Amino acid sequence: MRIKAEGNVPASPETALSRSIRRVASGDSGRAGGPVLGSAHAKAILFGEHAVVYGAPAVAIPLHALTAVAEVSPRREGTRIHSALFHGDADDAPARIQPLLEAIYSAQRHTGISDMGVELRLDSTVPYERGLGSSAVVGVAVARAVAALAGVQMDADEIFEVAMDCERIAHGRSSGLDPRTVISEVPIRFHGGEVAHIQVGAPLVFVLADSGHAGSTARAVGAVRASLKADPERISGLIDRLGEIAEGSLDQLAAGDREGLGAQMFEAHRHLAELGVSDVALERLVDAARAAGATGAKLTGGGRGGCVIALARDDEHGARLEHALRRAGAARTWRTTVSQA
Ligand code: MEV
């Protein structure tokens, strides 16, 4: 399976991030004594968010257009951070940096270099709190960088554990779907902690649109939990149906059935809205996608802010969808094609 991804970010002179990505790609990440790098891509959930927290299956795709690169080097004393959110010593870091610090310490524990101070630089194009897995991305990129620094090979399960430690600080309880998708290069089905790669029968062009509003996954998950307690019959019915849709989508993905998939996306969105995790801006974007001929559209991730994912008919239609979504208020859009190898 092959994933092609494009963003609508204009071509720009080489940035620290693009330099880092080039160095990761060329394998130039382990010079003796020099800084080492780890990278990770974002994710989008196609079906099953929230329901997955209660054990339902979910389907998610990697978003290669959005990437973070962590660069680490050894430091004589203490840990120092350079990121868009904070520059300084770990001891002075604000609460928002704690998931990043936990990723560093967890990766150090896993690789046996807990007593080493590190200098960590994080460059990321993954927007924070938009349902695209930014905390899992940080966890995976940091795990890979620290493993390179320690000269240790971490397998996918160990990287997952580091990312889960980071997720726990960022969101509280996590189903594990985000880190598993961020680690995977291909779309996955996630069920009960198990990951399976998915067959895709035809190229599928998805458009992601950022509502421009931050969403707190922890708060959205908490709100669903409260609704479930208050109205168990209705809410568990919605959760069951979201799981059935996710499971049913596997055949549609394998057949490359855009119409069928799209219809399921619209239906899943209705149920997520009933769960209480949509908002005015997300509704506007789903409506705009429908009006612009998307075969399907829904919120993706925790919701209550964040992004919408829409299914286009082809690449050219995807470009028109991006335009329509930006006109409807999307702060940013990205396009990604999922196809069979
Ligand atoms: C967040 O990207 C996905 C949720 O299902 C939470 C989780 O799986 O832990 C809302």
In short, whether 50's Cβ falls inside 6 Å of ligand 1 is yes
In short, whether 49's Cβ falls inside 6 Å of ligand 1 is yes
Measured in angstroms, how far is the CA atom of residue 45 from the centroid of ligand 1?
A: 9
Model pTM score: 0.91
What's the pLDDT score for residue 211? 98
Segment among 2-16, 198-212, 259-273 with least mean pLDDT: 2-16
Tens digits of residue pLDDT in 124-160: 999 999 999 999 999 999 999 999 999 999 999 999 9
Q: What is the mean pLDDT of residues 286-292?
A: 98
Looking at the predicted structure, is the pLDDT value of residue 13 above 80?
Answer: no
What's the pLDDT score for residue 1? 36
Tens digits of residue pLDDT in 253-276: 999 999 999 999 999 999 999 999
Distance, in Å, from the CA atom of 161 to the CA atom of 150, rounded to the nearest integer, reads 17
Distance, in Å, from the CA atom of 61 to the CA atom of 178, rounded to the nearest integer, reads 10
Looking at the predicted structure, is the pLDDT value of residue 29 above 90?
Answer: no
**Residues paired with 75 in a beta bridge:** 117
Nearest CA to ligand 1 atom 9: 174
Q: Which of 128, 221, 272, 282 to mutate to test the pocket of ligand 1 (most atoms within 8 A of CB)?
A: 221
Confidence band, pLDDT 50/70/90 cuts, at residue 340: low
- % of the chain exceeding 90 in pLDDT: 87
Measured in angstroms, how far is the CA atom of residue 77 from the centroid of ligand 1?
A: 37
Measured in angstroms, how far is the CA atom of residue 178 from the centroid of ligand 1?
A: 7
Report the nearest atom of ligand 1 relative to the CA of 224.
10
CA angle 331, 335, 338 (to 5 degrees): 150
Q: Work out the mean pLDDT of the chain and round it to a whole number.
A: 91
In short, whether 53's Cβ falls inside 6 Å of ligand 1 is yes
Confidence band, pLDDT 50/70/90 cuts, at residue 17: very low
What's the pLDDT score for residue 341? 54
What's the pLDDT score for residue 339? 84
Which CATH architecture does the domain made up of 3-195 adopt?
Answer: 2-Layer Sandwich (3.30)
* Beta strands 332-339 and 80-82, pairing class: unpaired
Measured in angstroms, how far is the CA atom of residue 76 from the centroid of ligand 1?
A: 38
Q: What is the mean pLDDT of residues 38-47?
A: 98
Confidence band, pLDDT 50/70/90 cuts, at residue 9: very low
Q: What CATH number was assigned to the domain covering residues 199-338?
A: 3.30.70.890
Measured in angstroms, how far is the CA atom of residue 30 from the centroid of ligand 1?
A: 34
Measured in angstroms, how far is the CA atom of residue 176 from the centroid of ligand 1?
A: 8
In short, whether 52's Cβ falls inside 6 Å of ligand 1 is yes
Task: Sketch the domain layout of the chain as residue ranges.
Answer: 3-195, 199-338
Q: What is the mean pLDDT of residues 315-326?
A: 98
Looking at the predicted structure, is the pLDDT value of residue 37 above 90?
Answer: yes
Segment among 12-16, 30-34, 119-123, 196-200 with least mean pLDDT: 12-16
Confidence band, pLDDT 50/70/90 cuts, at residue 33: low
Nearest CA to ligand 1 atom 8: 175
Measured in angstroms, how far is the CA atom of residue 244 from the centroid of ligand 1?
A: 17
Tell me the HSE value of 341 on the side-chain side, using a 13 A CA sphere.
8
Tens digits of residue pLDDT in 220-257: 999 999 999 999 999 999 999 999 999 999 999 999 99
In short, whether 174's Cβ falls inside 6 Å of ligand 1 is yes
